[in-house]
Every structure is written in C-alpha cells, then in structure tokens.
C-alpha cells in the first residue's frame, strides 16, 4: 500500500495523528485474495451468521417470491455470501470490484467454488422457503454473475434493482468524505425504492491482508445514518457482536433500507 504519509504526524500539542490514506493511494491490485478468503470466509463465523439472518430475512420480507432483476454487489473481494442472499431476486448479479487479484479470484471461484460456501448457503436457506427451493445455488450464481472491473466512486446512477456492499465504504480509505461518498454512490446506483443491505466495521483502525496494510475510516452507527440520510429511506441499522476477527475494531454494523 502506498501511504501518502507513512509516518504518523505529531501536532504541536503532542497528539499523534494517523496518516491520511485516500482510496487512490492504495495498490488495490496487490490485494492478497487467498489470504483474505482464508482468514474471513474459510468457514462460517457467528458474526457472518448473524448478518445473514438480518439480510436474508430482510430481502425475503421485502420481495415477492420471484426474480426482480439486476443485482449488484460492490467491492465483492472474496466474499460470495452477499451475492448469494440476492440470488432468488436476481436475473443478473454484477460483482463489481476494483482489484485485479480479486476479480481473477472471483472468476475462478465461480467456476470452482470452495466447500465453505455450503455452510453459508445452509445459514441463508434454513427456514426460508424462497432460498430453500434453489437446488444448486453456486451453479445458479455461476450462471447469473458477471465479474466487472469498477470503482465505487464512478458507479452510474439508477441502474440496479437491489444491491449489497459489505465492508467497503469504511474499509477503503481513512477519509470521512470518501466513506460518505462511497456509501451514497452505492445507494445511488440503485433504482428508486430498490432495497439494499450494507455491512460496516465499527471503529476500525485498518487491517492487514497477507503482508499489506489497508486503511479504514473509524465510524459509528451515527456516521452510517448520516451517510445514508440523503439517499435512503426506511433505514434500519443493527449492531452485530464481533471481536475475534482481528485487533482494532468495535464490532460490525448492518444497514438495510431502500433508495429514496
């Protein structure tokens, strides 16, 4: 990662400020996909199981049980479960990703998915008819998904019928203005009234993948609410307990709602 200032700045009051790292300062194409997958999605964790309960429940309660149209997952990384939660309601799923390594990983994964996704699908489909009637979800995702190179800050408006964005807006920059812009741009890429689910790390100080350090913007529930207010309605934010993924964060947050 290329940091604008690799050394913390000391102010004249002696307070040490962390360096400011914008999204464009990071070498996203070096993202170590295998290490990220192994650490986060090699098996289903209780925090992801709780997030699945919230968003699969939300999508199922929001949609009539038939396909509605085009879905997008922004900054997919090596995570297929947001896309899997949109499967019954999608005629096409765009996996929108900036990093070359993650796009390559996604393409291979769709072709030959690893076994842990079965644990995620079991959690998604348990007790939910709309999901449970899909026989081979990973084959269906393979048919419907397109891996697309892109930058959240350039997403076109009013294109998608539903969307997800997990651990992206707050985990690609230290800048509050970029966190807000990424969140709003994601919701704006949806059509009017389209439902969405977005997950965020709370109070994150950054993260390490392989041997690379990545920036984060430290945010709370109030920051998520503020970021969504101009673009979304019916917003619900739920705190998800999580403390053993790594050091330097204060749980997870899931927001559901509709584009205004």
99 binds ligand SAM (CB under 6 A): yes
- Closest CB to ligand SAM among residues 84, 231: 84
Select from 28, 58, 105, 249 the one that contacts ligand SAM (CB under 6 A): 28
H helix or E strand, kind and range, residue 162: strand 162-166
Select from 21, 23, 87, 93 the one that contacts ligand SAM (CB under 6 A): 23
SS3 state of residue 180: helix
> How far apart are the C-alpha atoms of 183 and 153, rounded to whole Å?
9
Question: Rounded to the nearest whole angstrom, what is the least distance from the CB of residue 124 to ligand SAM in the complex?
Answer: 15
> How far apart are the C-alpha atoms of 199 and 50, rounded to whole Å?
12
Residue that is written with structure tokens 């390490």 in the block: 208
Distance from the Cα of residue 131 to its chain's centroid: 20
Distance from the Cα of residue 1 to its chain's centroid: 20
Question: Rounded to the nearest whole angstrom, what is the least distance from the CB of residue 231 to ligand SAM in the complex?
Answer: 17
Say if residue 221 is exposed, middle or buried (CB neighbours under 10 Å; 0-12, 13-18, 19+): middle
Closest CA to 227 of 216, 239, 237, 241: 237
Nearest-CB residue for ligand SAM: 77
Q: Cβ distance 185 to 173 under 8 Å?
A: no
Residues within window 167-186 making contact with ligand SAM, judged by CB under 6 A: 167-168, 171-172
37 binds ligand SAM (CB under 6 A): no
Select from 62, 130, 151, 205 the one that contacts ligand SAM (CB under 6 A): 151
231 binds ligand SAM (CB under 6 A): no
Question: Rounded to the nearest whole angstrom, what is the least distance from the CB of residue 184 to ligand SAM in the complex?
Answer: 13
- Closest CB to ligand SAM among residues 38, 67: 38
Count of positions on this chain that bind ligand SAM (CB under 6 A): 21
Q: Residues interacting with ligand SAM, by CB under 6 A?
A: 23, 28, 31, 40, 74-77, 79, 97-99, 102, 151-153, 166-168, 171-172
């Amino acid at each position: 990662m290329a940091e604008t200032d690799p050394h913390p700045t000391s102010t004249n009051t002696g307070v040490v400020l962390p360096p400011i790292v914008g999204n464009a300062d990071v070498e996203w194409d070096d993202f170590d996909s295998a290490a990220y997958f192994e650490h986060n999605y090699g098996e289903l964790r209780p925090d992801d199981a709780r997030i699945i309960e919230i968003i699969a429940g939300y999508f199922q309660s929001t949609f009539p049980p038939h396909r509605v149209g085009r879905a997008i997952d922004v900054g997919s990384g090596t995570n297929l479960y947001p896309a899997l939660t949109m499967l019954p309601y999608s005629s096409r799923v765009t996996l929108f990703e900036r990093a070359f390594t993650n796009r390559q990983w996604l393409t291979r994964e769709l072709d030959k998915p690893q076994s842990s996704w079965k644990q995620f699908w079991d959690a998604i489909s348990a007790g939910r008819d709309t999901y449970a009637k899909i026989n081979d979800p990973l084959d269906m995702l393979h048919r419907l998904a397109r891996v697309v190179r892109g930058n959240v800050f350039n997403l076109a408006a009013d294109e998608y019928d539903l969307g997800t964005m997990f651990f992206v807006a707050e985990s690609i920059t230290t800048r509050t203005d970029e966190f807000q812009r990424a969140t709003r741009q994601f919701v704006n890429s949806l059509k009017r009234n389209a439902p969405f689910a977005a997950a965020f790390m709370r109070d994150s100080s950054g993260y390490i993948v392989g041997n690379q350090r990545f920036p984060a913007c430290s945010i709370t529930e109030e920051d998520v609410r503020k970021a969504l207010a101009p673009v979304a309605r019916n917003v619900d934010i739920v705190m998800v307990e999580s403390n053993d993924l790594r050091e330097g964060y204060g749980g997870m947050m899931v927001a559901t709602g509709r584009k205004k």
